[in-house]
């Protein structure tokens, strides 16, 4: 629920999914996060209260989400890991491909990356994970892939291995898995088959590696627009980029930034 300018991060991520053409959203939350459900609740009373306070833009944003997508919730009773959280979606997903968006990674790209990944699955039939290059010193914060050749002009690479948070010296490449995945429902049987991995948790990465061995998997390499709002620097960068794009704040904010330029080191 951390606000970035005027929207909680979870809403930015929901709007990204909608921009990529997704109209059914399941938010997997913990028992302590009821405030998130209230945020997406289209209760008449809540809207009337916001409207009475003059918060018309907020009311409109929530209504727009309600008219473009169904937002559902499920609770992960115990924090048993990301793979376990994703497996909570099994019944809801049924037998269609689906996307997983980790909301501490926000994308400022109008849904472009996710749309590209959805299109890639439609063409290849294989699950797709988002990949971004990082220096070796940072790779141990992420899932990391071994991959086939990178072809000029194509964002897609074939993945030949996935490992969760390897030490720099053990990392198979400099491509790290970012919090966007477009998966076939076959992932669920693999998540159920795995034992707890790194940190004693059921790791999505381990389930993905089994899925890759069975069905193959693609990586979608991108470089721009991703911010980890759990990191202070990235939170600031995301705030500035979103402020510049903001229809009301943007022009004045750009002038303000320009006025600071002479003071930059």
**Residue among 143 and 155 whose Cβ is closer to ligand G1P:** 143
User: Hunting for tokens 């009337």 — which residue is that?
Assistant: 48
Question: In angstroms, what is the minimal distance from the CB of 178 to ligand G1P?
Answer: 5
Burial 72-110 (b: 16+ CB within 10 A, else e): eeeebeeeebbbbbbbbbeeebeeebbbbbbbebbbbbe
- Under a CB-based contact definition with an 8 Å cutoff, are residues 142 and 176 in contact? yes
Question: In angstroms, what is the minimal distance from the CB of 141 to ligand G1P?
Answer: 7
Question: In angstroms, what is the minimal distance from the CB of 131 to ligand G1P?
Answer: 9
User: Hunting for tokens 């998997």 — which residue is that?
Assistant: 217
d(CA 237, CA 224): 12
**Residue among 79 and 250 whose Cβ is closer to ligand G1P:** 79
- Under a CB-based contact definition with an 8 Å cutoff, are residues 208 and 179 in contact? no
d(CA 239, CA 3): 10
**Residue among 156 and 177 whose Cβ is closer to ligand G1P:** 177
Question: In angstroms, what is the minimal distance from the CB of 231 to ligand G1P?
Answer: 10
**Residue among 61 and 102 whose Cβ is closer to ligand G1P:** 102
Tell me how far CA of residue 113 lies from CA of 104, 128, 176, in angstroms.
16, 11, 15
Question: In angstroms, what is the minimal distance from the CB of 51 to ligand G1P?
Answer: 37
The binding site for ligand G1P (CB under 6 A) comprises 82, 102, 105, 142-143, 164, 176-179, 204-205
**Residue among 98 and 181 whose Cβ is closer to ligand G1P:** 181
User: Hunting for tokens 């002009």 — which residue is that?
Assistant: 153
Question: In angstroms, what is the minimal distance from the CB of 98 to ligand G1P?
Answer: 17
How many other C-beta atoms are found inside a 10 Å radius of the C-beta of residue 64? Answer: 12
**Residue among 62 and 145 whose Cβ is closer to ligand G1P:** 145
Give me the residue whose beta carbon is nearest to ligand G1P: 143
């Amino acid at each position: 629920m951390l606000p970035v300018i005027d929207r909680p991060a979870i809403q930015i991520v929901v709007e990204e999914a909608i921009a990529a053409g997704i109209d059914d959203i399941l938010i997997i939350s913990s028992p302590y996060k009821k405030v998130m459900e209230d945020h997406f609740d289209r209760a008449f009373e809540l809207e009337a209260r916001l409207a009475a306070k003059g918060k018309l833009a907020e009311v409109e944003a929530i209504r727009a989400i309600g008219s473009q997508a169904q937002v559902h919730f499920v609770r992960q009773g115990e924090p048993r890991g990301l793979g376990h959280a994703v497996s909570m979606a099994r019944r809801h997903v049924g037998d269609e491909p689906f996307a997983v968006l980790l909301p501490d990674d926000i994308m400022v790209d109008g849904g472009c990356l996710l749309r590209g990944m959805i299109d890639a699955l439609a063409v290849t039939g294989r699950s797709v994970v988002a990949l971004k290059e990082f220096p070796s010193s940072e790779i141990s914060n992420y899932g990391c892939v071994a991959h086939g050749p990178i072809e000029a002009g194509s964002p897609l690479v074939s993945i030949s291995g996935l490992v969760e948070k390897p030490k720099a010296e053990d990392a198979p490449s400099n491509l790290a898995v970012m919090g966007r995945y477009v998966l076939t429902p076959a992932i669920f049987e693999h998540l159920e088959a795995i034992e707890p991995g790194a940190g004693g948790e059921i790791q999505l990465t381990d389930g993905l590696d089994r899925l890759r061995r069975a069905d193959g998997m693609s990586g979608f390499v991108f470089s721009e627009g991703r911010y980890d709002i759990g990191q202070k620097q990235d939170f600031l960068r995301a705030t500035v980029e979103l402020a510049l794009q903001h229809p009301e704040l943007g022009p004045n904010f750009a002038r303000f930034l320009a006025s600071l330029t002479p003071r930059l080191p």
